[in-house]
Amino acid sequence: MKFATRLVNFEPAPRDPYKPIVTPIYQTATFTRETMDAEAEYDYSRSANPTRAVLERQLASLENGSHAFCFSSGMAAITAVTRLLRSGDQILSDLDLYGGTCRLFSRVLDRSGIRACYADALDPDAFAKHLTPATRLVHIESPTNPLFHILDIQRLSEVAHAHGALLSIDNSVMSPYLQNPLDLGADIVIHSGTKFLGGHHDVTCGAVIVKDEALAKQIRFISNAEGAALSPFDSFLLLRGLKTLKLRIDCQQKNALSVARWLAARKEVTQVFYPGLAEENAYQLHHRQAAGPGSVMSFTTGSVTLSKAIAESTHLFHIAVSFGSVSSSVSMPATMSHASVPPELLAQRQLPRDLVRVSVGVEDEEDLIADLHQAFEKAARLHPSASRAGA
């Protein structure tokens, strides 16, 4: 079956006697057994819950994996993956990385003797030189957030495997509709389900998807032991949101391409970062490993003041962190989502302070462009000199 069909056609409630058409919210903490010695399929909701189990089967299937595990947030999902490591092990990551992941790697894991190192993964051969015998995990995003570098997932998985490390990839910016990294050699796919999977800004969730039985066993053990698994109600919201994943992304992506082209044509905009407009090599690579450019992008104006004024003058783009929702949003990564990056790393990453990140929703395309138009005009009126400097 094709992706669109799989999104809505799955077993919603295995073994439920009432045959509901939608997965029920099994809002129960524990499950009774017939006798003291009887084995039960479900025992306690921290370990497994029928609502969450349907969601996990569905996500595993959509990512072409064998097992998925859902957590209370994307960060809880990433944390679970890092629990595969022990004191003395190292993580090697790309320089352009979600701010919260950086914070976890550099300011929390160091307390347990796990070291995170960062290197530019755009050139896999140069990146390979940074792997050491202690590197157990290579963690990347592609496209990266917020600069939308395109990394060669297959080459990087070969690099990781050649050194006996696992490759995990945070696929939140793409979703399983646009990119399936397990097919490209990745061992672990992570999602912040808060973004495209849920798609409505009403739930925080994370997922870990694997294709290997032994790895699945370890993640299941960690999830049960640490207790950050997703609640039945939040699992229900994810199941509901997921059904429209393709519809939403088809619409958002179409809008996003128009917005990106419009931005690229504005005299105030110095650069647009978007896989749909990337330079030739990156564009080709992205289209070899993904089915579309997505609907998140960023741009610079050459002036922090002007960027800020533009973001603050929009009406349809809400000033908010996060992306992937049906409603458009705008943020400035340097002071918002990526403010948690340690200063020394921020300097190494060269994250532009005037960078504006835009997540395009399902609104009418003309309304979105009209709103950006009035925001740019207003910002230019408020800051004429900044606007000229950026021209």
Counting residues that bind ligand PLP (by CB under 6 A) gives: 15
Residues 306-365 that bind ligand PLP (CB under 6 A): none
Q: Is 204 in the site for ligand PLP (CB under 6 A)?
A: yes
Rg (CA), the chain: 21
Which position among 50, 65, 74, 276 is part of the footprint of ligand PLP (CB under 6 A)?
A: 74
Please identify, using beta-carbon distances, which residue of 75 and 311 lies nearer to ligand PLP: 75
Report the b/e string of 57-69 with b at 16+ CB within 10 A. ebbbbbbebebbb
Q: How far is the CB of 37 from ligand PLP (least distance, A)?
A: 40
Q: How far is the CB of 196 from ligand PLP (least distance, A)?
A: 10
The piece of 22-30, 70-78, 159-167, 220-228 that touches ligand PLP (CB under 6 A) is 70-78
Q: How far is the CB of 205 from ligand PLP (least distance, A)?
A: 6
Please identify, using beta-carbon distances, which residue of 78 and 285 lies nearer to ligand PLP: 78
The piece of 127-135, 189-197, 252-260, 286-294 that touches ligand PLP (CB under 6 A) is 189-197
20 burial level (CB within 10 Å; 0-12, 13-18, 19+): exposed
> How many residues does this entry show for the chain?
391
Q: Is 206 in the site for ligand PLP (CB under 6 A)?
A: yes
Q: How far is the CB of 330 from ligand PLP (least distance, A)?
A: 15
Please identify, using beta-carbon distances, which residue of 145 and 253 lies nearer to ligand PLP: 145
Residues 212-271 that bind ligand PLP (CB under 6 A): none
Q: How far is the CB of 126 from ligand PLP (least distance, A)?
A: 23
Q: How far is the CB of 106 from ligand PLP (least distance, A)?
A: 15
DSSP β-ladder status, 329-331 and 188-192: unpaired
Q: How far is the CB of 97 from ligand PLP (least distance, A)?
A: 8
Catalytic sites, residue numbers: 46, 98, 170, 195
Please identify, using beta-carbon distances, which residue of 74 and 390 lies nearer to ligand PLP: 74
The tokens describing 215, both together, are: 């790895």
Please identify, using beta-carbon distances, which residue of 145 and 313 lies nearer to ligand PLP: 145
Please identify, using beta-carbon distances, which residue of 141 and 354 lies nearer to ligand PLP: 141
Binding mask 26-65 for ligand PLP (x = CB under 6 A): ----------------------------------------
Binding mask 95-134 for ligand PLP (x = CB under 6 A): ---x-xx---------------------------------
The piece of 67-75, 157-165, 175-183, 347-355 that touches ligand PLP (CB under 6 A) is 67-75
Of 207, 217, 149, 148, nearest in space to 182 by CA: 207
Which position among 55, 60, 75, 169 is part of the footprint of ligand PLP (CB under 6 A)?
A: 75
Residues 129-148 that bind ligand PLP (CB under 6 A): 141, 145
**SS in 3 state form for the chain?**
CCHHHHHHCCCCCCCCCCCCCCCCCCCCCECCCCCCCCCCCCCECCCCCHHHHHHHHHHHHHCCCCEEEEECCHHHHHHHHHCCCCCCCEEEEECCCCHHHHHHHHHHHHHHCCEEEEECCCCHHHHHCCCCCCEEEEEEECCCCCCCCCCCHHHHHHHHHHCCCEEEEECCCCHHHHCCHHHHCCCEEEEECCCCCCCCCCCCCEEEEECCHHHHHHHHHHHHHHCCECCHHHHHHHHHHHCCHHHHHHHHHHHHHHHHHHHHHCCCCCEEECHHHCCHHHHHHHHHHCCCCCCEEEEECCCHHHHHHHHHHCCCCEECCCCCCCCCEEECCCCCCCCCCCHHHHHHHCCCCCCEEEECCCCCHHHHHHHHHHHHHHHHHHCHHHHHHHC
Interacting residues toward ligand PLP by CB under 6 A: 73-75, 98, 100-101, 141, 145, 170, 172, 192, 194-195, 204, 206
